[in-house]
Amino acid sequence: MFKGVGVALITPFCKDGNIDFAALGWLIDQMIESGVDFLVPCGTTGESATLSHSEHNKVIRFTVERAGGRVPVMAGTGSNNTIEAVELTRIAKENGADAALVVSPYFNRPGPNGMLAHYRRIADVGLPIFLYDIPKRTGEAVPTVVIKRLAAEGVIVGLKWASGDKDQLIELIDYLPKEFIALSGDDALTLDAMELGAKGVISVAAHVFPEKVKEMCDLATSRDFEAARFVHEHLLPIFEALFIEVNPQPVKEALAMMYPAIVLSVFRLPMVPLRQNSHCALAQVLRDTYGLAID
C-alpha cells in the first residue's frame, strides 16, 4: 500500500492564518491526478507542530474524504508527549487514515527503553505505524537496535528514513523481513535509498514535479537505475533549492510562485517567508532550470 511516491502535503493557509481547505483540496486532486501513490498530511511539511488537535482532526478527515479511496493516506501523528501522540493516532484512525507516521520523541530525548515504550503505547491504537527517524529535527537518532526490535514485535510496519545513515539502512533492510517498508525521507537520497532496498519516498519535491519524481521511483522499482539516475540528475537542482532554507518554507513559496491564485505564501509562526535572496534563488531555479513562467 505504501510504496512509490508519497507526498508530504503542505498545509495551505489563508491570509488570516486559518487553514485554506479550498487550496488543500486542489492540491490533493493535483497530486492524485499526477500519479502519486499516497498522501501524507500533518507531517513536518504540513507545519504539524503549529496545528491544534482540532485542526489535525479536520485536515486528516478532509484529506481522507477528498482522496476518496483513490490513494491511501498516512497521517502524521507524532509528538514528544506519548499521550498526545496516542490521541492524534486515535483521531487519524477514526477519520479513516490507513497508517500513521510517528516521529521519534523530540526535545525529551528518551533512551532506548523510553522509545520502545512510546511506540508500543501508540501501536495499541491499532493503526499501522511508520517510524519517522529525523535526528536533525529531533536531536536524537533512533538506535538501529530499537527499530529492529519494534519491527520484530510488529509495533511498526515501516520506516521513514531521514537520518542519512546509509550503513543503518543497509543493516535494517538486510535484517528485517521483506514486508517491512523503508521509505526515503530525503528527496536527494531517494535513489540511493532505493538502490539499497527502500520502496519509495515521502517527498517534498513531488509538490512541484510529481510526474518526474514518480518516473524516477518507477524506474528504480523496476531496477533500471541508469535511467532513474538520469531523472534524478534532472531533479537535483529542485531537490537542493527546496531546502535552501528550512522546510516547508521553500516548497510553499515555490507553489505560491507557480500557482499564485491558489496557494499563498502564508506560514504559522515561528515559520516565516523566505529571505529575499533565498526567494530569488528559488525563483531562478524554477525559471532558468525548468523553464517555468515565474514572475
Candidates 119, 132, 214, 252; catalytic one: 132
With cell 539499497, the residue in question is 196
Helix 210-221 × helix 225-241 angle, to 10°: 150
Q: Is 194 in contact with 221 (CB distance < 8 Å)?
A: yes
Candidates 93, 160, 199, 214; catalytic one: 160
Is residue 132 part of the annotated active site? The answer reads yes
The string of DSSP codes covering the chain is: ---EEEEE----B-TTSSB-HHHHHHHHHHHHHTT-SEEE-SSGGGTGGG--HHHHHHHHHHHHHHHTTSS-BEEE---SSHHHHHHHHHHHHHTT-SEEEEEPPPSS---HHHHHHHHHHHHTT-S-EEEEE-HHHHSSPPPHHHHHHHHHHTS-SEEEE-S--HHHHHHHHHHS-TT-EEEES-GGGHHHHHHHT--EEEESGGGT-HHHHHHHHHHHHTT-HHHHHHHHHHHHHHHHHTTSSSTTHHHHHHHHHH-TTT------TT--PPPHHHHHHHHHIIIIIT-----
Q: CA torsion, points 267, 271, 276, 281, in degrees to nearest 10?
A: -90
Is residue 252 part of the annotated active site? The answer reads no
What is the rounded CA–CA span in Å between residue 211 and residue 245?
24
Q: Are strands 4-8 and 38-40 parallel, antiparallel or unpaired?
A: parallel
Residues annotated as catalytic (active site), given as ranges: 132, 160
